[in-house]
Amino acid sequence: TATRAVIAEAIATRAFALGAGAETRARGIAIGATLFTSISWFVIVHVVLS
């Protein structure tokens, strides 16, 4: 499920980046990177605790 969420986020970020202007694209990539980092930390913590 976590992998599926990461893939979905990557696709959404790419689609958003392609459809947006340069400034909005940079903002979208930053948001995507933040979400990706959050998901990655969640996965790491989940694996460590389990």
Q: What is the share, in percent, of the chain residues with pLDDT greater than 70?
A: 86
The average confidence (pLDDT) of the chain is 82
Alpha carbon of 3 to those of 14, 36, 40, 50: distances in Å?
A: 17, 11, 10, 17
- How distant is the alpha carbon of residue 32 from its chain centre? 4
Q: Give the whole-angstrom CA distance, residue 44 versus residue 50.
A: 10
pTM: 0.42
Q: Where are the domains of the chain?
A: 2-49
Burial class (CB in 10 A: 0-12, 13-18, 19+), 28: buried
pLDDT over 80 at 16, yes or no: no
pLDDT over 80 at 19, yes or no: no
Q: Tokens representing 13?
A: 């970020």
